[in-house]
A and B are shown apart, each in its own frame.
Chain A
Amino acid sequence: MIDPQTMGFLTDATLCIGCKACEVACKQWNELADDGYALTGMSYDNTAALGASTWRHVAFVEQPIPAVDTRLLGYDGRAGGGRIAWKMLSDVCKHCARAGCLEACPTGAITRTETGSVYIQPDVCNGCGYCVPACPFGVVARREDDGRAYKCTLCYDRQQGGLEPACAKACPTDSIEFGPVERLRAKAAARVTELRARGVAVQLYGEDAAAQPGTGGLHAFFLLNDEPEVFNLPPAPVVPTMGVGRSWLAAAAGAVAISALAVGAVLLGRGRSR
């Protein structure tokens, strides 16, 4: 059961207009550096991915539309060209109910806060980087200059001041909504029902443990208007530490087997030497 105080994001791709206000508001509040000035050639996405200095990232997906969708204007076969859809989604740290980064952190720098968010304490982080491969979403990254790991804090400082996170505050179309995860789940379910009734194909991503057992569910979950892979989200993420128990069992079994083999070999050798 989720604590009623557990806070998170619902990010709704059907409401995103790609304005990137979330990216800018995040960088301004958290005083993050720019990522450099380089055109990627990938639609309007020039920050490319989440990273140590980009904690919100808007994906821009240009995709041809199957010709069956008659609600959209089309020119196929008239003057070349083709039809297009342009999908946008603001990605962020998911604050997993079972967080790989937190479980991999050997120093205790990564903690779970009273609102259920996953927080890296920069004054404790020693820059070992174990958390980086432990995140199934590629969210956590180390800064090149100080080596420490950084990611979205769910604006822990703003929450303490009674403010919602900067990205949700800045979002003009309420594509990003912040609130108690329980309320967001109810809202997302209602929104899915409403959109499906209108014929829009949508799905939730990571809304709870049942939907995404590999992470135990996401506190920052998504309403998508396409498959997760389209937005560079893994379809069935699993935090690596999920397998730790099994790994230990396997290791123990292996050790037992190796010991048995060794003992057996010695015994066998002795038998032969006789």
Chain B
Amino acid sequence: MAECHPIGFRWVMKAKARGATIIHVDPRYTRTSAVADLHAPIRAGSDIAFLGGIVRYIIENERYFRAYVVPYTNASTILREDYRDTEDLDGLFSGYAEGTYDPTSWQYQGVDLVPPAGQKDAASDLEGRAGDNLARGTNDERDLSLEHPRCVFQVLRRHFARYTPEMVETTCGIPAADFLRIAEAMCAASGREKTGAICYAVGWTQHSVGVQYIRTAAIIQLLLGNMGRPGGGIMALRGHASIQGSTDIPTLFDLLPGYLPMPTVQHAPDLATYLRAHRSDSAWWSEMPKYVVSLLKAWFGEAATAANDYLFDTLPKLSGDHSHMATIALMADAQVRGYLVIGENPVVGTVGGPLQRKGMAKLDWLVVRDFAPTETAEFWRVSPEIARGEIATTDIGTEVFFFPAATHTEKDGSFTNTQRLLQWHHRAVAPPGDARSDLWFAYHLGRRLKTRYAASTLPRDAALRALTWDYPTHGASHEPSAEAVLREINGYTVETGVAVDGFTDLAADGTTASGCWIYSGAYAGGVNQAARRKPAREQTWVAPDWGWAWPANRRLLYNRASADPAGVPWSERKKYVWWDAAAAKWTGADVPDFIVDRPPTYRPPAGARGLATIAGDNPFIMQADGRGWLFAPSGIVDGPLPTHYEPQESTTANPLYAQQCNPARLQWRRRDNPYHAAYADRRFPYLLTTFRLTEHHTAGGMSRWLPWLSELQPELFCEVSPELAAERGLANGGWATLRSARAEIACRVLVTRRIRPLLIAGAVMHQIAVPYHWGGIGRVTGDVVNDLFPLVGDPSVHIPESKVITCDVVPGRRVRAPHGAVSPQAPPHDLPRVGQRTAEPPQVTPSPNVKEKAKA
């Protein structure tokens, strides 16, 4: 965290000064470890074994916060009789067939389907069968003693029973004594008087069981009573500014704004079917129709009416996996014609670089918008394949457009951070030259498309023609008003045009419009709430008047859980939100995350629907049963409980199950995406993991062009232990070549005790750690580390497994050079001058000296 989030780490240092214990678990000893109280080096890819060990420790030593766990989680819920655990089926859950799971047997006893909030394709097969079961998620059977053999608590206990400290030691490389100190430290920092937080950077999610890593952390925090309470929670430290915002108002293929599911071909012939499939009949997700209709009204305005289903039918429908990796694979098969890359450098930043470049060479057109030229924009000029003479620029027919982008200081807009906090930024200077904001690009592209298709009568153009696209513009460049966009996202009453105050004002009858229901309230009162900057000294410690947090300016989600079932704070020290009996409402330091006048004693009457199903002691109001899910009956496609699986490529067999890897993981078995043997591949004896440096920003487009950052970390390097250096003859400051079946790269060597060999299953295992910031374009250049990685991913969210593979390392700069080419030299630092490169096609010679070509 100190390494990648130094600004946020300010608060960790403040906590440390106040006596907090900082524990750092990471394969490497980093700048975070340097100031942590404890550092535990872990084998990359073994985190569920480690976290599962903590779950077991909490349960077996009865360290869970029982007064919290029994009422607030689904620990007491009884599962169906036909559920079978990975303990029963040697690594598989019941319902498995041919790479996918049918989650029917994972449901609660007596309930057909417990729908997840914000469900995606997880339970899509169930959508069709769910029918009109109006009691979904509420008629569950419970055993408050937690002793029923099929209650979640006992299932959880059995599931993790073998995750002992000894198993953690042999699986993760963390000695049992050290593991026990960590587990005890976490338990000691939890309870009525204390809370503990888990912070992770998104490398944690980049595994073929990535979602389950986070699920295990959630189980720990629920057992310890650390959710919905100040100082608790799980903080996802995002990889860029406003990546949280880009999932809220998503750039993801399977989501609509506000975590509404993208309609699918199978289950969305009309709005009613879509809503019936995805809404819950209980708790807050029963409100979903209001958000969907308001979204359609925001998009289509007057054209959206109840009679035409609010133009729901014009939305694209998913017909399959359209995630990044799936699209790349299709691209390589020449099935994709155009590619719009905005503020991203996938050739460097994501896995399978060779496959990506192969795909881009088969496009008709490629559009890249960025501050500076990137490896993605320049793939036709500078790439390992061109350097090796395998492909020539003249062989690439793709038409490439590069648009210079404005930086955040050159445009108005908002950032949404990991705490869901929207903070507005104002334009400080005008962008130079032709650089424009992304908003400008999207607006004017849409405007031109609307003009072009204005006269079209084709049904497929109906959405474009109906789209409201009337944002005011200003200035010579006709920059659209970012505040007007925020206002539309916030929502308004259709008849009056007045901004609504929050999502509770939204309706399902077409009288309101809102571009993203969870952001509703960000423009409450017609005021840009995100632009508020009241200093800390002028408000309470929760700082509700600094920026604006979704939902409803709540700084802490599920904060009803900060009080006990009777509505009394768990302790004076951790007092946050509580029931004020005299005033008959919830009150406290934050906006209560509960129906504000619902007393703790409220119990839903028989046959209750919607919000009426939320009992007065159900803090997790988004879940259909109002409880925190230790066991996830739906919403996750690869199992209701996290299970240790080895990565796609590992040095060791799965110590717990015959099932080696996540059986539901996404794979692309094709010749241009080869995988190593699942474990003990003699060609690739070491584990490789990647990381980020403070000095650079992800794929380098924002940092490798800056001299002040480039000089601080000028070259690609790998970190190896002195032991591995001795084993392979690597010298500090010298060169090494790293190999996988996909690619090989050259880099410098840092021999350091900050990375150390681990004992895994009784044998010494070496890990190699490499920062991934470099590529062939920029002031400082280097090989692309992600070229080493294959396409393989998590089935729930389609994220690549980009944090662990097996590899080999040899001394020297021995990149194989087919076709007689020499090792790639450093590409030029600058672009050819405009006007010099269009006269004739660049000469292509076997020489990799691109500078010469550029001059030609």
Contact = CB atoms under 8 A, between A and B. Distances in A.
A80 interface: yes
A19 B2 contact: yes
Contacts of A41: 732-733, 748, 750
Given A41-B733, A80-B757, A172-B7, A17 B713 contact: no
Given A20-B695, A62-B753, A73 B10 contact: no
A93 interface: no
Contact of B712 (A23, A72, A78, A88): A23
Contacts of A88: 31, 34
B40 A73 contact: yes
Contacts of B673: none
Given A27-B708, A37-B710, 5 more contacts: A71-B38, A73-B38, A81-B757, A85-B34, A86-B754
Contact of B34 (A18, A46, A82): A18
A80 B732 CA distance: 18
Interface string B28-56: 01011111011111000000000000000
Interface string A1-24: 000000000000011011111011
A189 to B, nearest CB: 16
Contacts of A173: 6, 9-10, 13
Contacts of A78: 175, 759
Interface of A: 14-15, 17-21, 23-24, 27-28, 33-41, 43-44, 46-47, 62, 64, 71-73, 75, 78-88, 172-174
Contacts of A14: 35
A229 to B, nearest CB: 20
B753 A172 contact: no
A83 B178 contact: no
Interface in B715-756: 715, 717, 721-723, 732-733, 748, 750, 752-754, 756
Interface in B675-726: 693-695, 707-715, 717, 721-723
Nearest to A25: B708
9 contacts: A18-B31, A24-B709, A34-B711, A39-B717, A43-B752, A46-B712, A47-B711, A73-B39, A173-B9
A27 B709 CA distance: 10
A203 to B, nearest CB: 18
B748 A34 contact: no
A41 B718 CA distance: 11
A80 B758 CA distance: 8
A33 B710 CA distance: 12
A87 B34 contact: yes
Given A78-B759, A172-B9, A35 B711 contact: yes
A27 B764 CA distance: 45
B753 A84 contact: yes
B574 interface: no
Given A18-B694, A19-B31, A86-B33, A34 B708 contact: yes
Contact of A39 (B707, B733, B779): B733
B764 A79 contact: yes
A79 B694 contact: no
B348 interface: no
B718 to A, nearest CB: 12
B39 A38 contact: no
A39 B731 CA distance: 14
A24 B709 CA distance: 7
B713 A44 contact: yes
A18 B35 CA distance: 10
Nearest to A39: B715
A83 B753 contact: yes
Contacts of B750: 41, 43
Nearest to B19: A198
A101 B254 CA distance: 65
A71 B2 CA distance: 21
A86 B779 CA distance: 29
A187 to B, nearest CB: 13
Given A72-B39, A78-B759, A80-B723, A17 B708 contact: no
B708 A24 contact: yes
A261 to B, nearest CB: 57
A80 B708 contact: no
B712 A20 contact: yes
Contacts of A172: 6-7, 9-10
A17 B9 contact: yes
A174 B11 CA distance: 11
B516 to A, nearest CB: 31
A208 B1 CA distance: 36
Nearest to A87: B34
A42 to B, nearest CB: 9
B780 interface: yes
B2 A37 contact: no
Given A36-B711, A81-B723, A172-B9, A17 B31 contact: yes
A230 to B, nearest CB: 14
Of the candidates A40, A64, A79, the one having the most CB atoms from chain B within 10 angstroms of its own CB is A79
Contact of A21 (B6, B41, B723, B752): B6
A213 to B, nearest CB: 33
A259 B1 CA distance: 71
Given A37-B714, A41-B750, A173-B13, A79 B707 contact: no
* 9 closest Cβ pairs, A-B complex: A41-B733, A81-B756, A37-B714, A34-B707, A19-B6, A17-B2, A86-B34, A34-B711, A39-B715
Contacts of A81: 721, 723, 753, 756-757
Contact of B758 (A40, A44, A79, A86): A79
Nearest to A23: B712
Contacts of B780: 37
Contact of A37 (B9, B178, B694, B711): B711
